Amino acid sequence: MSESIYLAATERASGKSAVALALLERLGRSSGRVLPFRPIVDTIGDDELLDVLRERLGPDAPTTAELCGVTYAEMHDVPEQAMSTIVDRFHAVADRADLVLVIGSDFGDSSAPTEFTLNAEVAAHLGSRMVLVLPAGNRGAGGVASALEAALHAAADHHATVVGAVVNQVTAADLESFIAPVAEQIAPVPVVALPDMPLLRAPTVQDLAEACDGDLAHGHEELLDREALGIVVAAMTLPHVLDRLIEGAVLVVPADREEIVIGALLAHRSHTFPSLSGIILNGGFPMSPQIERLIDGIDVSLPLITCATGTMQTVSNLSRAAGRITTRSTRKIEAAVDTLGRALAETPLMAAVELSAHPGVVTPLMFEHDLVESARRADAHIVLPEGAEPRILEAARQVRERRIARLTLLGERGAIEDANRTIGLDLDDVQIIDPHDEGWRDRFAADYAKIRTHKGMTVDLARDVVVDPSYFGTLMVHAGLADGMVSGSITTTAATVRPALEIVRTAPGVSIVSSVFLMCLADRVLVYGDCAINPDPDAGQLADIAISSAQTASQFGIEPRVAMLSYSTGASGTGADVDKVRAATALIRERAPELLVEGPIQYDAAVDPHVAATKLKDSPVAGRATVLVFPDLNTGNNTYKAVQRSAHAVAIGPVLQGLGRPVNDLSRGALVRDIVNTIAITAVQAGGAQS
């Protein structure tokens, strides 16, 4: 039977959702398949937190409805029946998981003690071990300890077992000294303190608009999802308002104070003032046609919200807006996963709740964690040629906040700064280089002309080539000014690969550049090659692809057992296609005798132990293959897409291999998460190249 952890808040506004995100991520790295479950929700199938958690699980996650127990109304009307339903639905989830993270109710209209005891009762019925979440608030260590002590007694009264406690939202000044007296009072239950992060409690501009019954008058609708990190009321002259602006704030200003509106918009666009999240125009006053025309003419992206209430009522309404974590809350999600996750790591509390890793099981979440940790150890410097692309900037922000790699962005500084005003990347934390800078242009023109002299390249001609960001970034890698490059979110594969072939070229002993996809299945990671580059490699090239793919697998902690795929297994088949695979297998054994390789072999015999037992029972690869090499691009590309869609696998790639230095190409449809993973992959490759 699956294990389960029950995360229960002791009162409102505890930050339980952020803790749930961090716990799901941490437990997923060590405990196999982890699924969330909410025993009590407002509406079955409609729960914001479950939607967020499901996105972390991958495409094969159960539906939100399947992860819900009962509604508050059902629990209120027929408690006994509702409890029975919760237990039944919990076990349906547990049957599909190695561990279930149960997330308690959200404190509706009942009193806190009553709702907490209800959660304790549910935990007892589910056989779940409880972890309590308590916000520090304005209480000192003694007040927090007393509150936790009361919760422990209440849980025990309802036969629930508490294995840990989280004191959330602790100020930085108290973080070091807070826990010792609390831990002493509630011993032996382990307790951990998590830092206060105002971002996690911040409402979005959309939340504020709903709170004041406002409408979007100007600006981009997608920016309504940006968090409001403060509220500034413009009840003074413009110079004094400007002095009080803070990063990420929403400005409240009467709509008839048009000079303040225009001044605030200019300040927002200026690099010398903080960036705002929005402006709320209260009072119900229409702006003059001239000002409307002026705003229309400067292409305002910042949301301008209009509402009818006076300043006092507007501010009062805004103060009641609560910050939520939704699927659109990228900053909050990453902050919870990274910052809170690191604070939880290797604590007595985690030791109390973590299960030992399941041998032989590697979930996508586990693999992603290992990938990030390996990238951090590599401490690589990655150049991103598409520096002003919003997805690249958002990925760069996450990479820096998670300490995955050091970064250089290529592009004109002003354009990057403008694009970044809605992203929030700390530009002091990255290097920005404009390829048109004459000093850099002269240096790299000379380098490129020297590399391509045999093709008739001159310095004058090279000056026009090296301003192309892909060429510039590749030259940085060649010169040792960066350890790797990631590009292709808005350019073609050829635009990324061609400079790499011309400048960094293939690695010693490798005849061909190829690619692999890291296929993250539910319980393991396989390496598929080549599925993106070479249409019809000959036997020698196929051998090189296999050897390169095995090396790539090793870089990412996958023990290489190479299957050379064909439509026949062993000596049973004949024909040019199978002969090519047979010849390639012989070349691998000659060139890399240390590799475990089998070929020709069919896919089912390569990955299924039962099939392998009938076809190649003595093979050390058959049934256990981790590196699967396809005979041609047609087969490889179609197979990876079929597995991706039908088995709900996470396909990471293509990962380029065989180059002298790591360069990787992005899909033009790449999501931010894809870009982050590719940067991490490139960093790991760079670390391997450096060692």
pLDDT of residue 340: 86
Q: Say what percent of the chain tops pLDDT 90.
A: 59
Q: What is the pLDDT of residues 145-165, one digit of tens each?
A: 999 999 999 999 888 889 999
pLDDT of residue 173: 82
Is cis: bond before 190, omega within 30 of 0?
no
For residues 368-391, average pLDDT: 91
Statement: residue 47 has pLDDT above 80: yes
Statement: residue 383 has pLDDT above 60: yes
Statement: residue 1 has pLDDT above 70: no
Under the banding of pLDDT at 50, 70 and 90, the label for residue 691 is very low
Rounded to whole angstroms, how far apart are CA atoms 58 and 368? 12
The answer to whether the CB of 561 falls within 8 A of the CB of 596 is: yes
Residue where the block lists tokens 């002269």 = 442
Statement: residue 299 has pLDDT above 80: no
Contacts of 663 (CB under 8 A, 6+ apart): 474, 477, 484, 485, 486, 487, 496, 497, 500, 504, 656, 682
Under the banding of pLDDT at 50, 70 and 90, the label for residue 59 is confident
pLDDT of residue 365: 65
User: Cα separations (Å) of 371 from 220, 310, 525, 625?
Assistant: 35, 52, 12, 21
Statement: residue 357 has pLDDT above 60: no
For residues 178-182, average pLDDT: 86
Under the banding of pLDDT at 50, 70 and 90, the label for residue 414 is very high
The answer to whether the CB of 427 falls within 8 A of the CB of 405 is: no
Rounded to whole angstroms, how far apart are CA atoms 412 and 681? 27
pLDDT of residue 376: 92
pLDDT of residue 25: 86
For residues 182-208, average pLDDT: 90
Which two three-digit tokens encode residue 513?
Answer: 């550049």
Average pLDDT, the chain: 89
User: Cα separations (Å) of 510 from 77, 245, 507, 513, 542?
Assistant: 71, 57, 6, 8, 11
Statement: residue 175 has pLDDT above 60: yes
pLDDT of residue 229: 92
Q: How many other C-beta atoms are found inside a 10 Å radius of the C-beta of residue 163?
A: 17
pLDDT of residue 433: 97
Q: What is the pLDDT of residues 642-665, one digit of tens each?
A: 998 888 788 888 899 999 999 999
175-186 vs 141-157: helix crossing angle, rounded to 10 = 40
Statement: residue 519 has pLDDT above 80: yes
Nearest to 534 by CA among 430, 391, 656, 666: 656
Q: How many other C-beta atoms are found inside a 10 Å radius of the C-beta of residue 74?
A: 17
Q: What is the pLDDT of residues 525-563, one digit of tens each?
A: 999 999 988 999 999 999 999 999 999 999 998 999 999
Which two three-digit tokens encode residue 361?
Answer: 């099981």
| Top-confidence range, 44-48, 167-171, 309-313 | 309-313
The answer to whether the CB of 187 falls within 8 A of the CB of 162 is: no
pLDDT of residue 358: 41
Statement: residue 690 has pLDDT above 60: no
Which of 186-200, 358-372, 466-480 is the least confident region?
358-372
Statement: residue 343 has pLDDT above 90: no
Q: What is the pLDDT of residues 676-685, one digit of tens each?
A: 999 999 999 9
Nearest to 606 by CA among 630, 627, 622, 585: 622
Statement: residue 450 has pLDDT above 80: yes
pLDDT of residue 363: 66
Statement: residue 445 has pLDDT above 50: yes
pLDDT of residue 359: 39
Strand partners, 409: 384, 432
Which of 98-107, 346-355, 498-507 is the least confident region?
346-355
Q: Is 411 left (phi over 0), alpha (psi -120 to 50) or beta?
A: left
The answer to whether the CB of 603 falls within 8 A of the CB of 589 is: no
Under the banding of pLDDT at 50, 70 and 90, the label for residue 366 is low
Instruction: Specify the higher pLDDT residue, 479 or 667.
Output: 479
pLDDT of residue 645: 85
For residues 324-332, average pLDDT: 85
For residues 467-495, average pLDDT: 94
Statement: residue 627 has pLDDT above 70: yes
String of b and e for 293-313 (b: at least 16 CB within 10 Å)?
ebbeeeebebbbbbbebebee
Statement: residue 593 has pLDDT above 70: yes
SS3 of residue 140 by DSSP: coil
The pTM score is 0.68
